Amino acid sequence: MLNHQKRLVLASTSPYRKTVLSRFNLSFDTFAPNIDETVFPNELPATLVQRLSEAKARAAQSIYPHALIIGSDQVAVLDEQILNKPLTHEKAVQQLQACSGKQVDFLTGLCLLNTKTGRTQVDIVHFSVLFRHLSIRQIENYLHLDKPYNCAGSFKSESLGIVLLERMMGSDPNSVIGLPLIRLVQMLEAEDIHLI
C-alpha cells in the first residue's frame, strides 16, 4: 500500500489517464506539466514518447520533492506517420477513413520518478489495434455519438470506439487509453508499493 511518506502524483491533465489511475483506489494528486511537446526533426515515435513521459514527470519534481511522479505520453502511428488528435469533426472523419481496414500502433511512454531518491524507471509499452472496414455512415454515426476529437486515432476504446475494431493486440489494453497499468504496477512494486 502507499504510505503517507510516498505521495503519488500523476503529471498529466488527461481526464482519461486520471480515470484509469483511479482504478487502483489510491489517493493521488494531478499536476499539469506544461512542457513543450514539439517533435524533434527525424525523431522516432518511440524516442518521442520516452522523452516526453520523462519530461512530464521531471516537470513536477520541484513541487513534489518527496513523491512518486507518473509521467506518460502516447502516440498513435499509422503507416509510419503519427496521428495527432483530430480536434475537429472533419479531421476525425479523415483519420478514421485512413484507419479503415488497417492496423494502428500505439506507443505509450511511461515514467515513474521517485523525487526523494532520484530513481527513474522509464519504459515504452506497445499496443496495436486493427480497424474494421468502415463505411462513411459508420464513421459519421460513431463520431456524432462518441465525439473523440481529443483522442489520437479519433476513437475511444473504453467507450463506443470498440465497435470500430476487429482486433486488439498487446499486453495491456489500458495503454490505448494512455496509461499502461500492468507496467505501472511493476514499477510501483519496485518502489515497494504493493496494491494487494
Q: Inter-axis angle of helices 136-146 and 89-99, to 10 degrees?
A: 130
Q: Which of 36, 73, 146, 192 is catalytic?
A: 73
Query: What residue segments make up the domains of the chain, in order of their start?
Result: 7-190
Distance (Å, whole) CA 189 – CA 196:
10
Known active-site residue 73: yes
CATH classification code of 7-190: 3.90.950.10
pLDDT in tens, the chain (196 residues): 555 457 999 999 889 999 999 999 999 999 999 999 999 999 999 999 999 999 999 999 999 999 999 999 999 999 999 998 999 999 999 999 999 999 999 999 999 999 999 999 999 999 999 999 999 999 999 999 999 999 988 999 888 999 999 999 999 999 999 999 999 999 999 999 999 8
The answer, as to whether pTM is greater than 0.85, is yes
| SS3 state of residue 6 | coil
Angle subtended at Cα 19 by Cα 115 and Cα 123, rounded to the nearest 5 degrees: 45
